[in-house]
Amino acid sequence: MGKSGNFQTFDTTLRDGEQTPGIAFSPEEKIEIAKKLDELGVDIIEAGSAKVSKGERKAISSITEENLKADIFSFCRGLKTDIDEALNCDVDGIHLVVPVSDLHIEKKLNSTREEIKSIARTLTRYAVEHGLKVEISGEDSTRADEDFICEVFSNSLKEGAGSACICDTAGIATPEKIHDLITTLKKEIDSPLAVHCHNDFGLATANTVEAVRAGANKAHLTVNGIGERGGNAALEEVVVALSELYGFETSINFDKIYETSKLVEEYSGSPIPPSKAIVGANSFAHEAGIHVDGILKDSSTYEPIDPHKIGRERRFVVGKHSGKHAIENKLKEEDIEASQEEIDAILKRIKEEGDKGISIDEEFWASIIEEVLTGD
C-alpha cells in the first residue's frame, strides 16, 4: 500500500458533522451521503448516534442495509443502553467515547478515574461479546494525563477493542503536542491509533496530518470540515495534504472529492466559503494578470495540484487585477473576435470599474463587451 501502511479514513460527517448548529440531515439525506462517502472510498462511516432519536435509528439501520464497502459505526457514550441501540441498528462497530481528562471526569460527570476505567473495560467487553468492532476514544485526551490515557486504552484493548483514539475535543492542541502524544502512546500501546481533531484554532488539518506522520493509523474527518464550533478536520484537506505533500496513499478516490463536498453542502445548508482550501469556489480561480499568464504557460506555476485530479475545473476571473492574457483567453473561450485595440479598451474599462469597487460578473462582462465591440 505504499507509505500509508494501514492508514484509514473514519468519516464522521453524519455524526459530528451533523452536530454543527443548524444542521440536521433527514434519514433519506443520510443514506445518500453515506452512499456517496462509500463511492469516495472512506473506510469507516460513523452514521450517527443510535441513542439520539427514532429517526436517527431509522437512518443508521437503512445505511447498514445498503451493504456498503465501508464499515458502519455508531457513536456510543459510556452507557450500555447506547450499545444496545447500536446493536438494534445492526452496525459493524461502535465508537465508544469516555472522558479521560480530570476536567471532564470530575466537573462534567462527577466521577473518578477508576470508574471511567471500569466503564471502558466493561462496555468494551459487552460490545465485543455481541459481535461489534470497538474503537475506544478518550474524550479531551489533549488535556489528560498520558499515563491515565494509556491505562484506559490498554484495559479496553485487552477486552477486544480494535483501536484507540485520542480526541482533541476542545481544539486546543498544537502539532507539536499531537506529535508528542502519538509518539508516547505508540511506545506504550500495541494497537492502531486514531486521531479526532477539532478546529477551534484553525489547526485541525495540521494536527491531523502531524498525527499521521507521527504514526497514527486512522483519522476522524468530516466533509467540508463541518462540526461543532469551529468544525472538525476537513477530509478533503487532510487526504490531499497527506498525498500531495507527504506521499501517503489512502483509499480515497480523489475524483469524487468535489462532488461529495457539494452534496454535503446542499444537504447541510452550510455554504462552503469561497476561499476554502481544495473545494472552495476560488481554490482554482485566477484573476491577477501575472498568475493567469503563468497558468497559461504552465499550470503548476500557481496551482499546487491539478484541479481535474479532485474533480475541479480552473477558472479565469476578470477584474481590475487582470491583464491582457485573461481577457484574450476569456474572449477565445466565448468565440469572440477582437482587435488588440478593442482588447485594450475592454481591459481599461474593467480596471476603471474595479477601481470603483465594482466586481465584474458575467452580465457586466457581457455589457462591456457589447459596448466596446459595437461602439454603443
Is residue 275, in this structure, part of any structural domain at all?
Answer: no
Is residue 8, in this structure, part of any structural domain at all?
Answer: yes
Residues 260 and 308 in one domain: no
As a whole number of angstroms, the distance between CA 376 and CA 372 comes to 7
Q: Which of 4, 10, 3, 7 is nearest to 42 (CA)?
A: 10
Q: Looking at residue 353, what is its pLDDT?
A: 66
C-alpha dihedral sign at 164, 170, 171, 173: negative
Residue 121: pLDDT band with limits 50, 70, 90: very high
pLDDT digits (tens, 9 = 90+) for 15-33: 999 999 999 999 999 999 9
As a whole number of angstroms, the distance between CA 311 and CA 317 comes to 19
Residue 264 has pLDDT above 90, yes or no: yes
Here the contacts of 312-318 (C-beta below 8 Å, separation 24 or greater) are: 312/258, 312/279, 312/283, 312/284, 313/284, 314/284, 314/285, 314/286, 315/284, 315/285, 315/286, 316/285, 316/286, 316/287, 316/292, 317/285, 317/286, 317/287, 317/360, 318/287, 318/350, 318/360, 318/365
Residues 199 and 295 in one domain: no
Domain encompassing residue 290: 285-374
As a whole number, mean pLDDT of residues 47-63 equals 94
Is residue 248, in this structure, part of any structural domain at all?
Answer: yes
Residues 249 and 305 in one domain: no
Residue 323: pLDDT band with limits 50, 70, 90: low
Q: Looking at residue 286, what is its pLDDT?
A: 59
The count of domains in the chain is 2
pLDDT digits (tens, 9 = 90+) for 157-187: 999 999 999 999 999 999 999 999 999 999 9
Residues 197 and 336 in one domain: no
Residues 259 and 321 in one domain: no
Is residue 340, in this structure, part of any structural domain at all?
Answer: yes
Written as nine digits, the cell of 258 is 468535489
Among 123-137, 271-285, 326-340, where is mean pLDDT lowest? Answer: 326-340
As a whole number, mean pLDDT of residues 61-67 equals 96
- Final residue before a domain boundary, out of 217, 234, 268: 268
Is residue 241, in this structure, part of any structural domain at all?
Answer: yes
Residue 289 has pLDDT above 60, yes or no: no
* Single pTM value for the model: 0.86
CATH of the domain at 247: 3.20.20.70
Q: Looking at residue 327, what is its pLDDT?
A: 76
Is residue 323, in this structure, part of any structural domain at all?
Answer: yes
Residues 209 and 249 in one domain: yes
- Final residue before a domain boundary, out of 239, 268, 297: 268
Q: Looking at residue 25, what is its pLDDT?
A: 93
As a whole number of angstroms, the distance between CA 13 and CA 34 comes to 9
Residues 334 and 241 in one domain: no
Residue 321 has pLDDT above 70, yes or no: no
Residue 2: pLDDT band with limits 50, 70, 90: very low
> Are β-strands 8-11 and 44-48 bridged in parallel, bridged antiparallel, or unpaired?
parallel
Is residue 86, in this structure, part of any structural domain at all?
Answer: yes
Residue 287 has pLDDT above 70, yes or no: no
Residues 99 and 41 in one domain: yes
Is residue 278, in this structure, part of any structural domain at all?
Answer: no
As a whole number of angstroms, the distance between CA 78 and CA 76 comes to 7
Residues 219 and 159 in one domain: yes
Residue 314 near residue 333 (C-beta atoms within 8 A): no
Residues 232 and 292 in one domain: no
Residues 180 and 236 in one domain: yes
Residues 134 and 194 in one domain: yes
Residue 374 has pLDDT above 90, yes or no: no
Q: Looking at residue 58, what is its pLDDT?
A: 94
Q: Looking at residue 333, what is its pLDDT?
A: 74
Q: Looking at residue 355, what is its pLDDT?
A: 77
As a whole number, mean pLDDT of residues 45-71 equals 95
> Are β-strands 193-197 and 163-168 bridged in parallel, bridged antiparallel, or unpaired?
parallel
* Percent of the chain residues topping a pLDDT of 70: 88
Average pLDDT, the chain: 89
